Each structure stands twice: as C-alpha cells, then as structure tokens.
Amino acid sequence: MRGMKIIILFWITLFFLLTGNSATEAQPQPQPQQQELRFSAEKAYEHAQYLTDKIGPRPAGSKGEEKAAQYIYYILEQAGWKVKEQPFSKVVVQHNPLEPENNLQVINSRNIIAELPGQNPETVILGAHYDSADTSAPGALDNASGVGVLLEVAKVLASSSQQESYQLIFFGAEEAGLVGSEYFVTQADLSAVRWMVNLDMVGTPLEIDVAGKTSAPPELVKQVANVVKNESIPFHLSRDFLVMTREGSQGGNSDFSPFLDRGIPAVGFGISGRPNGFYHRPEDLMGGVSLQEIDQIGQLILVMLKSVHPSSIGSQTWDTSYLTFQLGSQVFILSSLGLRILFLLVFFFTGYLFIRLFRGKYRTNSSAWIKYFIGALTMTALSLVVVGLSGVGELLWQKLKGVEILWYAHPDLFILSRLIFILCLVFLAVGIIRKIPFAQSSNFYWLVATGSMLLVTTFLALYRLDLAFPFLFWLLCLDLLYLWPNIILALGAPYFIYHIHWELLNSQQWVSFYEIAHRYVLIFILLYAGLLLPVLFSVLFCVLRKPKFIKPILKATRLPIIIFLVADLLFLGLVPSYSQTYPQILRIQKEWTGNETAQYHMSSSDFIPNDLAKELGQVHSKNIYFPAQGDKPPMNLEGVIQDKGGRSFSLTLKMNYVREPYRVKIKIRSPHSFRITQIDDFLPMSKLPRKVKLEGIEKSGQYELILERTPPHKSILQASIEGEGKIQVTVEVIFADLKPSLTLEKHNLSIDYLESYRSEFEF
C-alpha cells in the first residue's frame, strides 16, 4: 500500500510541475483616465431593447436586419467613430454528412465596421453579431445583448484618447454560418490586428470560449481568465478538461472562430451552460436579459481592454494542442510539450506493467487461450446487451406516456439514469459471469482492457494529442488498477464517460447528437458497448483479484441493486419531456399549394400534445392538417420549362409577391443527371465556391439540386439546364406570419407561425 501512495503522489506532483505556468499571478491594472465617460448599463440595455422590441426578428437579409444595421450605424457615428458598411452576398453550401445533397444558399447581408485610431496603429477588434436566428426569433440575448454592450463600450472608448487603435465590427449573417465574419477576414488587412474579442449572448456565469476550429493562444487565455477572476465574475472555460474541441459540424460557435483560423488571437464571451429553450426562439425576449449582468460584462470589457497587453500575447503562431483545466476560478494550462511528456510517461508505465505481467506468473497453454477467447467474446456480447438494454426505460415510458422523447428538458437526468441502469446491470452480470469456469484469469481481463485502451490512445495521439487525452487518463486508471485492484478505480471510467458528455449536455450540440444517435441506433450501441467493455473487464479483474473482499459485496448488494434498478426505471417516468424553460417546439404553417385554398399544417419533431390534438378533433400524431379560412395567397407563380433542343432546357419562374418573402427554395429533380449552365443573379455563378457545381446529385435514384435564397428577392428567375427529359421543379416560399389568424396559448409550447406557398411543375 505504501508503494501505491508514492505512485499517486508522483502523479500529482508531475501534474503540477507540468502545468507550472498557471494563471495565478495578477496583472498590473492601470488607473482609468479621468475625463472618460462611464459605462451605462441602462443605455446598453436600451440599445438591446430597441433591437428586440422595436425592430424584432433580424434574420440575414431581412428588412429587420437592415433596420438594425442602420440603427447601429447611426449610434456609432453619433459617438464619434468612423463608420462604414461592408455589404456581401455569399453562396453557402449546406453540409449534411449523413444525407449528402447539393443545397446551395445565397446569403445577403452586411457588416458594420467602425474605427477609432489610437496613438499607435496596433489594433484591437471587438465584435458582435446583430442578426437573429430566424423570422420568429427577436434575439434579445442572442445577440442584442452583445450589440447593446458593445455600442455602450464604443461611447466610452470614444470619450477619451486611446493608446491602441480600436475596430468595432457588427457582423451580419452569423446565424447563417458565421458568414459575415468569414467574409470580413477574407477582405481585411489584418496585419495591425493584435487580438480580438467577440460578444455573443452575454450574461453570467460567463463562458470564455477559447476554441473555435482552432485554439486561442495560451498566453491570451491566461490573461483573459486572470482579468475575469480579478473582477470576481464567475466563469467557465470552454475547453475544460475532457471535451476539448468544437471541431465538427459546428466548427467554432461564433464570430471569433474565423479570426483564430487566420492566426489572430481571439476569444469569445458568451453565457455559460446550455442555453435555455428560448435560444433561437420567439421567447428570446428582453425579460431574459439582466441589467446587472449587462453592467458586469460592460465593466469587464473596459477593464480587460486596459489590462490585456497586445504585445505580451506573443507571436502570430502559437501552441494549439494545449489543455486547460479549471478548478474553481483557477486555470491551469498544460502545454503540448507537457502533454507529450505525460503521454510518454504513461506509455512507459503501461509497458513496464506489461513486462511485469509476462515475466511473472502469466504462463499459459493454448487450450487456456481458447477459454480466454470465449470469455472475451462473452463479455463483448454482454456489453452489447447491456448498452442495448439501457434504452429500455426510455422505450417503456414512450409507450406508456405516448410521447416519443423524454430528454429535452433534462438531458443530464436522462444520461444519469441510463448510466445508473448500465452500472446496475454490470454488477448483476459480473456476479453471474464470475461463476462460469472459463472466466477465471484476472490478468487476461486486465490485459485486454489495457491493451485495447493503449491502441485507441496511440491511434488518437497520432491524429491529435489533445483529443487522445481523455483516453490517456483512462489508460492511467487501468495502470493504477493493476497495482491496486479497487472497484472504485474501475468505475473511474463511467464517471469519465459522463464527464465527456458534460459539454455536450450543456450546449446546443446535444440536440443534434441526440437526433443522430437515434437515427443510427445500432452504430451507437456498438460505439458505447466499445466504451463499456474496458469497464466490464476492469470490474471482473477486481472481482477475480480480490475475491475474498469483493464476493461478499456482490452478494450483499444484489437485492439493493435490483431495487435501485427498478427505482431508476420508475424515476425516468417522472422526468418531464418539456418544461416552461424548455418548451416543445411547434410549427403552425398556413400552406398554399398552387391555387388551392389554404390549410394549416401543425408539426413538431415530437408528438403534438394529446389535449391539443383532441381539441382540433385530430388523432395523436406529429403532423396535423386542417382547413384554414379563405385568405388570399401571399404570392402567385408562373413557371415555364422550354425544350431548346440538344439536351438543353430553359427555366423561367415569374413570382408575384403580395408580401415580402423570407426564404425561397427551388428544388430541381430528375431521374437523369443534369446541371445548370446559366442562371441569373438569383444565384450568381461567379460567387460559387470552388469545386461546387450547379448539378443534381443522386439521392435514392433521383438527381436533386436545391437552391435557396434569403432576401432581397427578385420576381423573375431565369436559368438554362442541361439534362434529359422529365425535369421536376418545386418552388417553396416561406413568409413570416406576423399577424397569425390562429394563435394558441399553451403551456410548455414554443410556436413558430409561418406561411408558405408551394408550387410544383414538371416537363
């Protein structure tokens, strides 16, 4: 036991040695200049209120976005900044790795850029996006809050002479995929820019986003964390401990990310934790923005601009594979060199244990190997069954309650319940497996668990060191387990699995993760069974190594575990799917198809609440249709396809809008391959990203191409298509329904009111 203590002490000491450059030393803070105006939270709040209440939803390209741009322009000019507009139009390719399709969107918007020259040309950029997510999202927290704070910061900065030069950028079309900031970094001369900070959904506890697609310089992370700590503002560092990257479909979650990609040190400020159900919804109103928090963030920004020294951030290239650990308000950074040393040490340690194992009593013959092999197969099958069974509670309550999903409001409870369920099953299963004669070699189980973890860690480390760290941690747990067979240590891994989901659970990424997991159930069962296997092996290893100690525990806990398991199942039934803060999303769309009369289409990704369906005299389902009153359609359409001979067709669409549409979607389909050879400025071909072609791609036997456009719109579209006969064109136009004739007042529902016009024709 003494040797054990020494080993643990060694690792703890090593950790602190490697993370030696922790962010503890305070930075000197210069006194603010006297003549400077003070930051007024009330004024910042008023700006946000104007954008939210007076202007309302501001999706990219909309009239609302344009009005917001004018307002920001006016305020900045009043404050004495040199302001200019940067309009842009960009073709964005919608990526969906699961269902390949050719979906091209034209996004039109503008950035508002303001400049304040200082005594030296070194420039600091402050940014915030002013668009909102959707036609029905007023975007108070996301991101009128950030814009309000920045407009007020602008006033303060302009009220006295500044050392550094400042640039404020109010980005358009952030919600359409960081379009404004991506455009800005490709156009601007960034040579004088020292660093950048972006505000997106401000409040406390503060989220300091230090990783987009790439990570911020460690020196900047340290300095910023220091300032926030000194201001006594609670915060969370986004790259904390186990889940370190935002790489993937989201690719950096706000406008600071494109700056990092270009080698500009940048961080993002947002609100930490999973955004409530109002995020990107009609309920994102000023009631969710706190004056006190606006004040804290505003003061913080001003202190930070004085205390973070551009010259001390260092060069334009930096270590990107470091790890951050946060303990309360203390931030530790493990550099990639430290990380490498740690990897080597753990690998050597594992190798040493392997040698020790094979030099020792581990002698065996071929018939024993067959037994071990069968044992391992049994365990694999078992882990698959256990992971598969963990969904039983969910299925049970789905049937009983008649709702499809039970996770929305409380995903953490839902994961915890599954984990408890799995652990109970593991304990029960190990009790049974232990009795089977082939499963008696503890060392074999340790060897398989550690060997597989070593392989996974090595492969990941070769790919990306920081991604491999959680597995290195797991490998270290297994190493310690060999020296100290302890069931608590063996269960370090389930805790680790839970922790790795932390950021997922507390971000909007959870929604897409859940949807993908449910669409590809089998793949996910395989994946999670793979994660469970080392845990199973470790538990079995402990049981076989210390039978005298653990056998009685297994026996005594059998009944309590069964009771706990049943209780866990019942508990899951109490978890509400929706709540007032995480309401069910419902869409009520008044639909016109061609010249037919309109109908209402009520839809949700989950079943529409039973009482609501009954009220409308409909059966319980996800889609409900019922007739609408006889309004005039918001537009009409004439579409013509002409055969020009020689596989060439011309397409003409004449759209007569009664109201300003929001989104126009044109889907072209054909059983044969086709491509567009010419098109007017509905989708300018000169703006197409390289490698992207205007052609149909195959999807379940049909070739398909989708062209989408946000405003401003033209009423005529002309295109030439090259292809073979039978071409089908579907036009779908979405309008915001600002004065819906049918409204619902229901608890736990968040409703989008839309109108749509759809027309289909073929040649």
Instruction: Give the footprint of Zn ion on this chain (CB under 5 A).
Output: 142-143, 200
- Residue 253 Cβ, how far from Zn ion at the closest point, in Å? 8
- Residue 139 Cβ, how far from Zn ion at the closest point, in Å? 8
**Rounded to an integer, what distance in angstroms lies between the CA atom of residue 301 and that of residue 334?**
27
124, 195 contact by CB (below 8 A): yes
Backbone angles phi, psi at 640, to 5 degrees: -130, 130
Q: Which CB atom, from 142 or from 752, has the smaller least distance to Zn ion?
A: 142
Q: Which CB atom, from 200 or from 695, has the smaller least distance to Zn ion?
A: 200
Q: Which CB atom, from 200 or from 293, has the smaller least distance to Zn ion?
A: 200
**Rounded to an integer, what distance in angstroms lies between the CA atom of residue 140 and that of residue 132?**
9
- Residue 137 Cβ, how far from Zn ion at the closest point, in Å? 10
- Residue 630 Cβ, how far from Zn ion at the closest point, in Å? 40
Q: Which CB atom, from 128 or from 705, has the smaller least distance to Zn ion?
A: 128
Q: Which CB atom, from 270 or from 375, has the smaller least distance to Zn ion?
A: 270
Q: Which residues contact 61 (CB under 8 A, 6 or more apart)?
A: 107, 108, 109, 173, 710, 711, 712
Q: Which CB atom, from 206 or from 668, has the smaller least distance to Zn ion?
A: 206
Q: Which CB atom, from 200 or from 207, has the smaller least distance to Zn ion?
A: 200
Amino acid, res. 317: T
Taking the mean position of all CA atoms in its chain, how far away is CA 409? 17
**Rounded to an integer, what distance in angstroms lies between the CA atom of residue 474 and that of residue 490?**
10
- Residue 209 Cβ, how far from Zn ion at the closest point, in Å? 11
- Residue 679 Cβ, how far from Zn ion at the closest point, in Å? 32
Q: Which of 269, 283, 126 is nearest to 203 (CA)?
A: 269
Q: Which CB atom, from 200 or from 755, has the smaller least distance to Zn ion?
A: 200
DSSP helix/strand/coil, 162: coil
Beta bridge partners of 82: 115
Q: Which residues contact 527 (CB under 8 A, 6 or more apart)?
A: none
**Rounded to an integer, what distance in angstroms lies between the CA atom of residue 78 and that of residue 159?**
12
Q: Which CB atom, from 55 or from 565, has the smaller least distance to Zn ion?
A: 55
- Residue 143 Cβ, how far from Zn ion at the closest point, in Å? 4
Please give the span between the terminal C-alpha atoms of the chain, in angstroms, as a whole number. Answer: 82
Q: Which residues contact 247 (CB under 8 A, 6 or more apart)?
A: 213
- Residue 249 Cβ, how far from Zn ion at the closest point, in Å? 17
- Residue 63 Cβ, how far from Zn ion at the closest point, in Å? 20
- Residue 200 Cβ, how far from Zn ion at the closest point, in Å? 4
Other CB atoms within a 10 A radius of the CB of residue 69 amount to: 21
- Residue 737 Cβ, how far from Zn ion at the closest point, in Å? 24
- Residue 662 Cβ, how far from Zn ion at the closest point, in Å? 19
If you write DSSP's letter for every residue of 726-756 in order, what string do you get? --EEEEEEEEE-SS-SS----TTEEEEEEEE
Retrieve residue 159's tokens: 């009220």
Q: Which CB atom, from 18 or from 266, has the smaller least distance to Zn ion?
A: 266
Helix residue spans in 408-491 (DSSP H): 411-433, 442-463, 465-483, 487-490
For residues 177, 181, 187 and 193, what is the CA-based torsion angle, rounded to 10 degrees?
-150
Q: Which CB atom, from 208 or from 683, has the smaller least distance to Zn ion?
A: 208
341, 18 contact by CB (below 8 A): yes
Q: Which CB atom, from 107 or from 478, has the smaller least distance to Zn ion?
A: 107
**Rounded to an integer, what distance in angstroms lies between the CA atom of residue 534 and that of residue 451?**
10
Retrieve residue 533's tokens: 């296997």
- Residue 250 Cβ, how far from Zn ion at the closest point, in Å? 12
248, 194 contact by CB (below 8 A): no
- Residue 132 Cβ, how far from Zn ion at the closest point, in Å? 8
**Rounded to an integer, what distance in angstroms lies between the CA atom of residue 23 and that of residue 223?**
7
Strand duo 697-699 + 702-709: pairing = antiparallel
- Residue 505 Cβ, how far from Zn ion at the closest point, in Å? 20
Q: Which CB atom, from 142 or from 708, has the smaller least distance to Zn ion?
A: 142
Taking the mean position of all CA atoms in its chain, how far away is CA 591? 32
278, 581 contact by CB (below 8 A): yes
Other CB atoms within a 10 A radius of the CB of residue 212 amount to: 28
Q: Which CB atom, from 176 or from 664, has the smaller least distance to Zn ion?
A: 176
Retrieve residue 175's tokens: 């919600």
> What is the enclosing helix (H) or strand (E) of 41?
helix 41-49
- Residue 6 Cβ, how far from Zn ion at the closest point, in Å? 50
Retrieve residue 94's tokens: 């919608």
Helices H, strands E: what count in the chain? 22, 22
Burial class (CB in 10 A: 0-12, 13-18, 19+), 68: buried
289, 141 contact by CB (below 8 A): yes
For 308-418, list the strands marked E by DSSP. 323-327, 330-334
Retrieve residue 682's tokens: 């509905």
Q: Which CB atom, from 58 or from 410, has the smaller least distance to Zn ion?
A: 58
**Rounded to an integer, what distance in angstroms lies between the CA atom of residue 458 and that of residue 454?**
6
- Residue 34 Cβ, how far from Zn ion at the closest point, in Å? 36
Q: Which CB atom, from 171 or from 372, has the smaller least distance to Zn ion?
A: 171
Q: Which CB atom, from 56 or from 375, has the smaller least distance to Zn ion?
A: 56
